[in-house]
Structure 1
């Protein structure tokens, strides 16, 4: 998991190759299994197989950082109800889905379609899917040129995202090592986030970790980022014996250093 996370790359270039029938069936089975893990309460995954039509319709309107990703398939994440819990749960299981897809040698990439007109989405994805906020591009990755060095995103250090007791109070690496959390926080820094803003912060309080999301300059948070980081924290935590689950919080925002943070969840160590 740590190696996967450190080397995790979203696929931006896909082959036009169609899925083998047995692979398509496996993908649909993964959809079903993940939906059933949460008793089919919060979301549905939908496989859109007319990739060319979707790309042409959304090109220039949606995508990763404004660039639409062309792929032979797209996965829709349809919420059954728009609540904070359903958004966080859906993104948690979407990231788990993308991890499982790599085992089928399939590439994937998040695509933001929240700003696309609902009438356009209804026309392209179907009336029942006009409220979908995110798609996932899906397919076989194109081979990468070994002579071209890929750009890498800078990452915050552990001291920039982990605090003791309260925001702004740095935690020592020695303390994280003594509690067996140093590797977890080293690798969690490589988790993906919207526009790679890394908005998550962690506060270690006694026997629990509090997760906070930093508001953007526009005064918004993207709860999809919360679900993603919760998934990787849980997966990495299991490696070192942490067996608990995240519990969502409903607390007032925290002001620190001219920024605002939303408490999202707590994890008992």
Structure 2
């Protein structure tokens, strides 16, 4: 899989076919989940596949989804968090998106659904007593065929010059300078990483032979850390493809305020 092609073509699916996956495919996805949790030692995250999606979508109709409309899917994967520490939220984004790539590679569509605002009682009723801390669902299944005469919605992505800083915030890198550093393709494609409401809150500051990951916001929201984890996952995949072998390292949060925006440093990547 060429990750750059994957990212530019990656889209959330809102309309799924009713027919679910074959039992052997579901077993394969369960094995992928098991291996992911074991290999990465994700002790603060619980992931569970629900084969009968109709029960979940019926329970959550009018209570979750987009604009109060639940995404009907033949199957769901629930992501339950044992805590909401920064590291846990970042790992949730990183490893759930890693799971997304595996599922899409099996020729299924996916869609993130935030269910963190549901009551504990509804979560227990829907997902079971042991899953009262579900924060996200991953709907998956076969996408319905698209109308070839209907224009697809398009999410505008920020330009490279808007998200990469040279040494200090708001001192923007030029495309030519990024090209000279061999980083142009990474930053071009990481812009396509999904984020809450397409806010694209991440910024990258290149300084002293390392890249700092900043979150830019004027009002804090917890899922911004999940967005950060998603971007970190795709950045590493793109960087590995281009010959870089480093990994993001989380750092103690540091904040600076510029005009109406706060910039919060959360991780570093050594070049």
- TM-score by structure 2 length? 0.95
2:24 pairs with one of 22, 25, 49: 22
Q: CA deviation at 1:127?
A: 1.7
Is the CA contact (8 Å cut-off) linking 1:193 and 1:225 kept in structure 2?
A: yes
Residue aligning to 1:101: 103
Q: CA deviation at 1:15?
A: 0.8
Is the CA contact (8 Å cut-off) linking 1:168 and 1:256 kept in structure 2?
A: no
Give secondary structure in 1 for the equivalent of 2:254: coil
Residue aligning to 1:266: 268
Q: CA deviation at 1:79?
A: 2.2
Map 1:103-142 → 2, pairs under 5 A: 103-142=105-144
Residue aligning to 2:194: 192
Q: What whole-Å deviation, never above 9, does each CA across 1:136-188 have from its counterpart, x for those lacking one? A: 10111111111212010111111111101111111121210111001111111
Moved more, 36-45 or 139-148: 36-45
For residues 88 and 39 of structure 2, the distance between their equivalents in structure 1, rounded to whole angstroms, comes to 14
Map 1:94-243 → 2, pairs under 5 A: 94-217=96-219, 219-221=220-222, 222-243=224-245
Q: CA deviation at 1:81?
A: 3.5
Is the CA contact (8 Å cut-off) linking 1:65 and 1:195 kept in structure 2?
A: no
For residues 65 and 29 of structure 1, the distance between their equivalents in structure 2, rounded to whole angstroms, comes to 33
Moved more, 100-109 or 48-57: 48-57
For residues 176 and 258 of structure 2, the distance between their equivalents in structure 1, rounded to whole angstroms, comes to 25
Q: CA deviation at 1:216?
A: 4.4
For residues 119 and 48 of structure 2, the distance between their equivalents in structure 1, rounded to whole angstroms, comes to 19
Residue aligning to 2:75: 73
Residue aligning to 1:83: 85
Gaps of 5+ in 2: none
Residue aligning to 1:47: 49
Q: CA deviation at 1:64?
A: 3.5
1:56 pairs with one of 55, 58, 70: 58
Change over 3 Å in CA distance of 1:252–1:126 after alignment to 2: same
RMSD: 1.4
Q: CA deviation at 1:11?
A: 0.9
Give secondary structure in 1 for the equivalent of 2:192: coil
Q: CA deviation at 1:266?
A: 0.7
Is the CA contact (8 Å cut-off) linking 2:254 and 2:266 kept in structure 1?
A: no
Give secondary structure in 2 for the equivalent of 1:74: strand
Q: CA deviation at 1:65?
A: 5.1
- TM-score by structure 1 length? 0.95
Q: CA deviation at 1:257?
A: 2.9
Q: What whole-Å deviation, never above 9, does each CA across 1:59-114 have from its counterpart, x for those lacking one? A: 11111454321101110112243321121112101101111111111111000101
